[in-house]
Structure 1
Amino acid sequence: MHQKNTPLKACAAAAAMLLALTACGSDNDNALVGVSDSALAFDSTKYTTINITIDGVQVPVRWYKEVCYVAKPVAMSATQTSLTGASSTIANPTCGYQSMNIFVPESVAANTDTALYFAVNNSGWFASYIKASVADGASFNSTTSNVGAALKAGYVYIDVATRGRGLTAADGSYPGKVPSQVVDAKAAIRYLRLNDARMPGSASRIVVNGTSGGGGLSSIIGTSGNSPDYLPYLASAGAAGIDANGGSTLRDDVLAINAYCPITDLGNADLAYEWLYTTFGTRAAVGRNPNPAGSAQLAAKFPAYQQGLKLANGSGAALNSDNMMDQIRQEVTRSAEVYMAAGGTIPDLGEQMTYASGPTTGTYTNDWLDVDNGTKKVVSIDMAKYLKFVATQATLKAAPAFDQTGMTITAASGESNLFGTASQKYSNFTEYAWDNNDVHGDGIGYDDTGITGSRHFSLATTPVMGQVKLINPLAYIGTTAETAPYWYVRHGTRDRDTAFTVSINLTRALQADPKVQEVNYRLAWNQPHAGNYDVPEAMAWIAQTLKAAAARGL
């Protein structure tokens, strides 16, 4: 059985000696030398007992409320703007974006081995204010709620708040720039490592769950474990396990990632999006082509980018723009066949197909997929019609899809406000958007600076290219960083929010990493941009993963 990482007697005897502490290698022992560690001690008595119902059974739960995981949180403005653009007043401007709610089923309060289900909640890479997924008197169905299923399984459930885009500090600055959200998640993990002996569960068994921007955050958490790139930022935040010299005395790698529709590889996501939706003329076919010249320019850069990744497809050949569309076809085929093998029926060509997205249901005509339900096999897929179908499920983003701010042709924002300095509301982070920014007076782009994108992003004083790396999992896979050994990634077959190539590239890179034990990847049949729609399957995978990890001594 997996044993929790607790202080060793040999180290305890030499606790006064830094050399001995370092030599012993225990998370808890090494944590004693962190500058902020004493301020971050967990109080195991400070909880409220609440009662919830899971599948008709009452379950008492300990709630450790709004545990601040950094010693130097950023003071925030009391008024913030949400993902929808609505203003709200936050109750905890001191640490509401850098804390976590910890929920412990009473049945495992003394269990030092159970997993920690670590949920990040930042949709669209926006800041995630502290939330409580578990409330007194709440009822859960464990077949549909990942929260209820995690608690029923006896895991510690953790809601993690992080900084992110759209956030305003009390001093008027913008503290949600990259890599703040990654730093915050790592700081929360380090807090759990620091306090492992004082807390229920095992900080060596963290499973990270996230959707969309949260899926992207989960992905970079899972690939950049223990990277020194983040240490200066962690020190600035007062994270656990950072010594007086800025070195690390704790780990921030995790065991497993459970990611849905990850919005990631932002520096190249525009190229992938335009390539996908212009190869068969999809934009024109659905009447959503407001920037045809830009779309063509971006799509033309995708082949070189894809070639440069040096990834392999499922057959071992180079994965490039010549065979990427066939890779997508194969993944859609597999998705449909897995669905039929599980008992699902797919309407014939020309018939009505139904879908359910949360509380919403609807129908559409199947004009792109020919199947044989008797043999449970796909006969053929018309990829041009399939991509047109995807583009009708939600309006295609204007080009460039992710770096739009400052371009009047798009009248949208994308993820541009993730980048730049804390004094900048946003910064374009791609050469195309920088060169085509036409909002005069924003201090961004060639129009205001007279500097081209290629020149601007090559300057040592420009932080953006470093920021792009710090949020990109592909930059860390296969390096000295510790990649999580277990991955479960899903991307809906009806999801138009990012190109299918993004999740395919991520998982192909993971499969090539010798540190990775398993990559469970699939395009989820008939699912839109969403997550946690497959709770029984995902939870079964987590249980299997924990068992496999224990067998390997993890």
Structure 2
Amino acid sequence: MTFKLTRRSLMAAMPAMASVGMLAGCGGGDDAAAVSAEDAALKFDASTYTTVNVTLDGVALKLRQYRRVYVAKPVKMATTLTTFNTTTLADPYAMQTMVISVAEALVNDQTKPIYMVVNNAGWFASPVSTTVTEGAAFVSTSDTDAMGAALKAGYVVVNLGTRSRGARAEDGRWAGKAPAPVVDTKAAIRYLRLNDSLLPGSTSRIILTGTSGGGGLTSAVAASGNSADFLPYLAEIGAAGVSGSGSTATSTLKDDVFAAVAYCPINNLGNADAGYEWEYNATRTDSNTGALNSVAYSAGPQVAASTAIAASFPAYLNGLGLTREDGSALSDANLRDATMALVKKEIEAQIAKGTAVPALGANFSVSGVAYLNDWLTLAGTGTSATVASIDYAKYLAFVTKIRALKTVVAFDAVGVTGNPNISGESTLFGSDYYSYSNFTAWSWANNAVKGDGSGVDDTALAWDAYLASSTSKLATQLKLINPMAYLNTTADTAPYWYVRHGMIDRDTAFAMQTLLYYAIKKDASVKEVDFKYPYLVPHSGNYDVQEAFTWIKAKLAANP
């Protein structure tokens, strides 16, 4: 792939590009006319669609499928970079495109809920894709077929493409940096709202869902409904209903959602490393933590890094002002107890359903492999048994025997502790003209790569000074992708939340998910949060489709 501009020429072009942006923002009347023209260009044309034939529970079902670019000024993209490879895009606008699928019999029904799916695993960019394809077979009663359940319920299914980390524009810019995935998802919601009278389905009944990075994206969007913080970014891409530019941008449309269904949400990235090391520092060994640059965990810089990063977590946690059910402050002294209480609740629910939970000294079976239960003590027998105690340290060791921990640093990994790879979420942050930026204080201070534009070594600025500098957008990026920054604020947070993080999922700390739960629970806009650590479930999503869709149905029924 040959780009139009090199990094050097892009940097040289920045002042001119900034001047163009400043000129384009002048003149309120012109802006109003522009947004009207953009909204007109985004008007939904119901006559342009593809007919897709599938089977649902063995019965033929004819669908109409609409593929639409959902912004008036889409960014022309060239490639997407994942951990393993670079892919050239056949459609340069696939990252700002949605695919809408609806049963042909329901194309004129504007009461049905909209089931909107984001696919940003690892917070990577996601060119639009859908499993609703010609000849596909769906089973509505399956616990792993969310599309089947959605189609059976008569929902309008929207699969969404978004920019995010690893996305490179045709002009060479890394155009998927935060807050791009949140902005794109909000723009898609606004496109649906603009065309509410023309589209099937009801935009007052949007259920947003995703897994892993997609779960984090779902959480960020659902928490920050209608926040004005995003309007300048929405204006840049020609999102429906947005006029003006920069701090003067205004909106006539909304981007809040009815419900969030988030699986293992990788969220609160600015504090995720601190939470991870606080959770696992005492558990780490050479057997559960990989080597970096052929240097074993115990022999290299990972040990000291883990200890230093973990030390920063209590102050963050204790400053959140969250409370437990009994009204006591949630703190570093009792957060593990809060997590254990949630794990205990899930295990006892499983026992009551007849699940065979092993006694102390017996074995759990995970994917056909036996793991000793040395952490869970039960009282009583049969379906009336209860959890007598949980040894939390041994529980964490159990989790890390099933799957090794991420190396240190887990999320802000690039350029530190001898990590030779572009790994972790560092590529989500920083300037469009560098592939990554460290986004936490420890990694910033310890960046060891010269010329990457990141760290004290390249900027001569300490972390706090860099965050406050006019050349940095990190502070804004970190806020705009973090649900914790918008929960318990004036944002129109989704009233209903269904959040799951597996009981043996080590992809982010249990601490981060317990914090998210209590923050959602505290928010006055939230009517219900259904949170669980599902029994023996690893990092995954859509494993409980029947339970999730029963919950969705009940919330919709309560809000006709």
Shift in Å, 1:88: 2.5
For 2:276, the equivalent position in structure 1 comes to 273
Aligned residues: 512
**Which of the numbers 290, 301, 306 marks the counterpart of 2:312?**
301
What per-residue deviation string (whole Å, max 9, x for no partner) do you get for residues 479-521 of structure 1?
A: 1110000000000011101011111111211111111100000
Verify the 8 A CA contact 1:270 1:402 in the aligned structure 2: yes
Shift in Å, 1:476: 0.8
Verify the 8 A CA contact 1:277 1:283 in the aligned structure 2: no
Secondary structure (helix, strand or coil) at the match of 1:168 reads: strand
TM-score, L = length of structure 2: 0.88
Q: 1:417 to 1:56 in 2, by over 3 A?
A: same
For 1:14, the equivalent position in structure 2 comes to none
What per-residue deviation string (whole Å, max 9, x for no partner) do you get for residues 97-133 of structure 1?
A: 0001111012322211110000000000000011022
Secondary structure (helix, strand or coil) at the match of 2:266 reads: coil
Superposition map of 1:270-349 within 5 A: 270-278=273-281, 280-283=282-285, 286=288, 289=297, 290=300, 291-349=302-360
Q: 1:239 to 1:308 in 2, by over 3 A?
A: same
Shift in Å, 1:287: 5.2
Q: Distance in 2 between matches of 1:293 and 1:325?
A: 23
Q: Would you say 1:397 and 2:439 are equivalent positions? A: no
Secondary structure (helix, strand or coil) at the match of 1:353 reads: strand
Secondary structure (helix, strand or coil) at the match of 2:117 reads: strand
Q: Distance in 1 between matches of 2:188 and 2:46?
A: 16
For 1:20, the equivalent position in structure 2 comes to none
Shift in Å, 1:34: 4.2
Shift in Å, 1:530: 0.6
Q: Distance in 2 between matches of 1:218 and 1:373?
A: 40
For 2:119, the equivalent position in structure 1 comes to 121
**Which of the numbers 372, 375, 392 marks the counterpart of 1:368?**
375
**Which of the numbers 450, 453, 463 marks the counterpart of 2:460?**
450
Mean Cα deviation higher: 280-289 or 446-455:
280-289
State the percentage of identical aligned residues. 48
Shift in Å, 1:46: 1.2
Q: 1:347 to 1:416 in 2, by over 3 A?
A: same
Secondary structure (helix, strand or coil) at the match of 1:36 reads: helix
Secondary structure (helix, strand or coil) at the match of 2:468 reads: coil
For 2:394, the equivalent position in structure 1 comes to 385
What per-residue deviation string (whole Å, max 9, x for no partner) do you get for residues 327-379 of structure 1?
A: 111111111111222221112223232234xxxx5432322222344123212
For 2:526, the equivalent position in structure 1 comes to 516
For 2:105, the equivalent position in structure 1 comes to 107
What per-residue deviation string (whole Å, max 9, x for no partner) do you get for residues 405-453 of structure 1?
A: 1115233421111111111111111111011000122121122232222
Q: Distance in 1 between matches of 2:216 and 2:381?
A: 35
Secondary structure (helix, strand or coil) at the match of 2:185 reads: helix
For 1:354, the equivalent position in structure 2 comes to 365
Q: 1:109 to 1:287 in 2, by over 3 A?
A: closer
For 1:85, the equivalent position in structure 2 comes to 84
For 2:60, the equivalent position in structure 1 comes to 58
Q: Distance in 2 between matches of 1:486 and 1:438?
A: 44
Q: 1:345 to 1:446 in 2, by over 3 A?
A: same
Secondary structure (helix, strand or coil) at the match of 2:434 reads: coil
For 2:192, the equivalent position in structure 1 comes to 192
Q: Would you say 1:46 and 2:48 are equivalent positions? A: yes
* Equivalent residue letter for 1:407: V
**Which of the numbers 252, 259, 263 marks the counterpart of 2:262?**
259
TM-score, L = length of structure 1: 0.89
Verify the 8 A CA contact 1:133 1:159 in the aligned structure 2: no
Shift in Å, 1:201: 0.4
For 1:75, the equivalent position in structure 2 comes to 76
Verify the 8 A CA contact 2:63 2:103 in the aligned structure 1: yes
Mean Cα deviation higher: 441-450 or 115-124:
441-450
For 2:12, the equivalent position in structure 1 comes to none
Instruction: Structure 1: state its 5+ residue gaps.
Output: 1-29
Instruction: Structure 2: state its 5+ residue gaps.
Output: 1-31, 291-296
* Equivalent residue letter for 1:59: L
Q: Distance in 2 between matches of 1:96 and 1:321?
A: 44
Verify the 8 A CA contact 2:94 2:127 in the aligned structure 1: yes
Verify the 8 A CA contact 1:126 1:166 in the aligned structure 2: yes
For 2:241, the equivalent position in structure 1 comes to 241
* Equivalent residue letter for 2:347: A
Shift in Å, 1:384: 1.1
Q: 1:31 to 1:515 in 2, by over 3 A?
A: farther
Secondary structure (helix, strand or coil) at the match of 2:559 reads: helix
